[in-house]
Structure 1
């Protein structure tokens, strides 16, 4: 997993690299500009594209000046640079790159406080105004310039961070920022990029390696880690010869109601295709025909037989489509403790019985979306605060909380926040969470730890959706995703038994 750092920590990584590589700060700036231009050439391939590079007078502006020069070297022939001199200070590296730029034919226009800004006619705007150091709202001439850029409605590519956006911490939804279609960020994504509020400042981001000391970065203390395919490959255990269904565990899913059997079926499908050796569904009897038709591999049990099946199971999932059946959940606290996943109606029931949080088994996985989370733990006005609360509750109750989002946060009892990068907007359809619940139960039944099950299920769930989206599907349905799970797992492992 890769450490995701605060802006302050990234500056420390810059300084450490300068001191120990050794590399001068101006050469590190050249690395950043080179990395930016490499990505930029994939974003706007026509070298006659008119490009406006907007620079402040700090190091982010210095990056922009260097990028302008390197774009010209790469063959771009319609470049113009604006320098916003709204501060009396300038960095030494900015000054050096401005001197270098003046040796080229690229026109440079400098703007002072109060100057009237002309219309922007270029097709692409490079935002290199302020970078990642901002921690307060834009005001005055900076705000005026940002509004001017946004009002142009041209495509914006930001260097490192869109101007006005905070790299970490609360992102107030009232603060104005540049809106960047693309952000080319250096070495690591910023923590804020994974929070929903970032959508007001950016559409997507690209990570460019600029040669910072990776060993130093990974040694810095951070609460945020980004899951990678290599982590899944390391965790996943391919099937071995002479194993049998008993090797892969017995999963029990308590789900469905007379009017919501679809959720139960989707959970069962996620469980089956994630490798549970045996799956049993505790569902209403009127759903039995649908279950036998859709998944004849799944066993059935009644509510009255639940305790016996519970004792036989290796892991249990409760909640999808459960409806009023959730009222029987109080009985489960008298059953033997099992690896447990609570979702949907089970979470809503738990929010009405908060004292029972103390009775959940250690390592229990909760899978709330935003509204379910707030019903459980109180109203929140921003996602940063929501994640901080999740860290507190996961530690207090020794839970794993999967806070579902475009970038899902997996919060562990030790306080770590693991960010899952897979998945896409085509998956925004009802029932996706039900599939994830089934996958989690399947991995728990196979004796993965709660943390391992969460990583495997979230990453594979999103990656399966990404494979379908790569086939140019505008909408991905949960039933389609279920069928992609096994091949996705196979694609993430290098040593499947053949």
Structure 2
């Protein structure tokens, strides 16, 4: 997994690389600027595009000056450079790149205040005003400038971080930020890019490798880790000759109610398609004909026989909650499940039952996986003012209760009992459809049944679920992805990870 760094850690990684690679700071800046330009050329291939580079006088501004020079070398001839001298300070590398820029024939203009700002004719603005490490809200001339630029509705591409945006910590949605269409960030994603409030600052981000020491980055302490595709390679167990259905576990799905039987069907079908050798659905009797028609491979279990069947030892995992309802009968089912001492996933209505019966939270077996979306999480543990606070609370509760909390969003956060926060990068807005969470629950139940640990099951299911959605959206052009369509592609996607291992 990729270790994500705070701003102070990123500065230390810069310093370590400069000292040990060895490489001078100005050459590292040149490497970063070249990486930016390479990504920029893919985004803006038209060499006749009118480009305006806005630079501060620190190292982010130095990047901007180098970027302008390198773009000129790549035949982008319509470039203007505007330097904001709102402070007498300038970094040494900024000064070097300013001298280099003057040799290209690009005459930079300098502004000492934000009054009477010049007309902006460029269609693309490169934001190199402020880099990472911001520790206070913008004010004064810089705030005035950024508000002015935002009103122009230009395509803004930010260098490393949108100006005014904090790389970690609480994101103030009312703060002044230069709003970017794209951020080309250096070496690794900034932690706050994965929080929903970042959407007002940048629509997209891509990562440009600038040559920092990766071993040093990976050695740094901190809870924030990004799941990478390589983490799954070798994790999927290849099916062996002479294995049989009993080799791959038996999952039990406790789900469904009179009006919400579809959730149970989606969950059970996803469990089947994710590799459980046997899947049984404990659903209301009136739903059994629908299940037989939808997924005849899934067995059924009357609720009156639940305890005796579980106590027989035949099940290897349980998923409870999708479409279950929150009435007295559903509550009793949740209470029964907590006594079964089998690897368990709790989702949807079962979470709402826990929220309405707080003492039950302390009865959850260790390593239980819970999968709340934002509202379910807030009902369980209390409302948070922002997503930074919500994830911090998930981290705290995962430790306290020895749970794995899978907090769902576009970028899902997985809080582990040892304190780490794993961020899943896969998934897209086309998956924002009712029933998609039920599919995820069925997948987790399948991996648990096959003998994967709770942590492995959470990682595998979340990443593959999102990756499958990405393929349907990006490669097959599906604007909206029906959950059942995603389920059908799961066996092929899981197999692809076996082949890549």
TM-score, structure 1 normalization: 0.98
Residue 270 of structure 2 is matched in structure 1 by 270
Among 293, 301, 317, the alignment partner of 1:315 is: 317
Question: Alpha-carbon deviation of 1:234?
Answer: 2.7
| Pair 1:244 & 2:248 matched | no
For the residues of structure 1 that align with 2:334 and 2:226, how far apart are their CA atoms? 36
Question: Alpha-carbon deviation of 1:85?
Answer: 0.6
Among 346, 350, 364, the alignment partner of 1:346 is: 350
Alignment of 1:288-299 (within 5 A): 288-299=288-299
Question: Alpha-carbon deviation of 1:444?
Answer: 0.3
Residue 367 of structure 1 is matched in structure 2 by 371
Note if contact 1:269-1:482 (Cα within 8 Å) is conserved in structure 2.
yes
Residue 485 of structure 1 is matched in structure 2 by 490
Instruction: Classify the secondary structure of the residue corresponding to 1:328.
Output: helix
Question: Alpha-carbon deviation of 1:456?
Answer: 0.3
Residue 97 of structure 1 is matched in structure 2 by 97
For the residues of structure 2 that align with 1:99 and 1:115, how far apart are their CA atoms? 27
Alignment of 1:67-78 (within 5 A): 67-78=67-78
For the residues of structure 2 that align with 1:388 and 1:175, how far apart are their CA atoms? 21
Note if contact 2:194-2:411 (Cα within 8 Å) is conserved in structure 1.
yes
Residue 340 of structure 2 is matched in structure 1 by 336
For the residues of structure 2 that align with 1:334 and 1:71, how far apart are their CA atoms? 62
Residue 142 of structure 2 is matched in structure 1 by 142
Residue by residue over 1:435-473, the C-alpha shift from the partner in whole angstroms, topping out at 9 and shown as x without a partner, is 000000000000100000000000000011011012111
Question: Alpha-carbon deviation of 1:59?
Answer: 0.2
Residue 361 of structure 2 is matched in structure 1 by 357
Instruction: Classify the secondary structure of the residue corresponding to 1:212.
Output: coil
Note if contact 2:60-2:159 (Cα within 8 Å) is conserved in structure 1.
yes
Note if contact 2:54-2:82 (Cα within 8 Å) is conserved in structure 1.
yes
TM-score, structure 2 normalization: 0.98
Alignment of 1:55-204 (within 5 A): 55-204=55-204
Question: Alpha-carbon deviation of 1:379?
Answer: 0.5
Among 430, 450, 453, the alignment partner of 1:446 is: 450
Question: Alpha-carbon deviation of 1:276?
Answer: 0.4
For the residues of structure 1 that align with 2:293 and 2:103, how far apart are their CA atoms? 75
For the residues of structure 2 that align with 1:286 and 1:97, how far apart are their CA atoms? 74
For the residues of structure 2 that align with 1:489 and 1:341, how far apart are their CA atoms? 20
Question: Alpha-carbon deviation of 1:175?
Answer: 0.8
Residue 229 of structure 1 is matched in structure 2 by 229
Question: Alpha-carbon deviation of 1:309?
Answer: 2.9
For the residues of structure 1 that align with 2:17 and 2:354, how far apart are their CA atoms? 49
Instruction: Classify the secondary structure of the residue corresponding to 1:289.
Output: helix
Residue 216 of structure 1 is matched in structure 2 by 216
Question: Alpha-carbon deviation of 1:332?
Answer: 1.5
Note if contact 2:334-2:350 (Cα within 8 Å) is conserved in structure 1.
no
Unaligned runs of 5+ in 1: none
Question: Alpha-carbon deviation of 1:33?
Answer: 0.3
Among 398, 414, 419, the alignment partner of 2:418 is: 414
Instruction: Classify the secondary structure of the residue corresponding to 2:384.
Output: coil
Residue 385 of structure 2 is matched in structure 1 by 381
Residue 464 of structure 2 is matched in structure 1 by 460
Residue-pair matches, total: 496
Question: Alpha-carbon deviation of 1:105?
Answer: 1.5
Residue 53 of structure 2 is matched in structure 1 by 53
Instruction: Classify the secondary structure of the residue corresponding to 1:156.
Output: strand
Note if contact 1:268-1:298 (Cα within 8 Å) is conserved in structure 2.
yes
Note if contact 1:252-1:309 (Cα within 8 Å) is conserved in structure 2.
no
Unaligned runs of 5+ in 2: none
Instruction: Classify the secondary structure of the residue corresponding to 1:493.
Output: helix
Instruction: Classify the secondary structure of the residue corresponding to 1:86.
Output: coil
Residue by residue over 1:321-354, the C-alpha shift from the partner in whole angstroms, topping out at 9 and shown as x without a partner, is 0013422135426733010100000000001111
RMSD: 1.1
Residue by residue over 1:35-60, the C-alpha shift from the partner in whole angstroms, topping out at 9 and shown as x without a partner, is 00000000000000000000000000
Distance 1:334 1:80, change over 3 A: closer
Instruction: Classify the secondary structure of the residue corresponding to 1:281.
Output: strand
| Pair 1:473 & 2:475 matched | no
For the residues of structure 2 that align with 1:251 and 1:240, how far apart are their CA atoms? 20
For the residues of structure 2 that align with 1:171 and 1:300, how far apart are their CA atoms? 47
Instruction: Classify the secondary structure of the residue corresponding to 1:234.
Output: coil
Question: Alpha-carbon deviation of 1:308?
Answer: 2.6
For the residues of structure 1 that align with 2:332 and 2:165, how far apart are their CA atoms? 47
Question: Alpha-carbon deviation of 1:236?
Answer: 1.1
Distance 1:334 1:476, change over 3 A: closer
For the residues of structure 2 that align with 1:482 and 1:113, how far apart are their CA atoms? 57
Residue by residue over 1:340-398, the C-alpha shift from the partner in whole angstroms, topping out at 9 and shown as x without a partner, is 10000000000111111111111000000000000000000111111111111001110
Note if contact 2:338-2:365 (Cα within 8 Å) is conserved in structure 1.
no
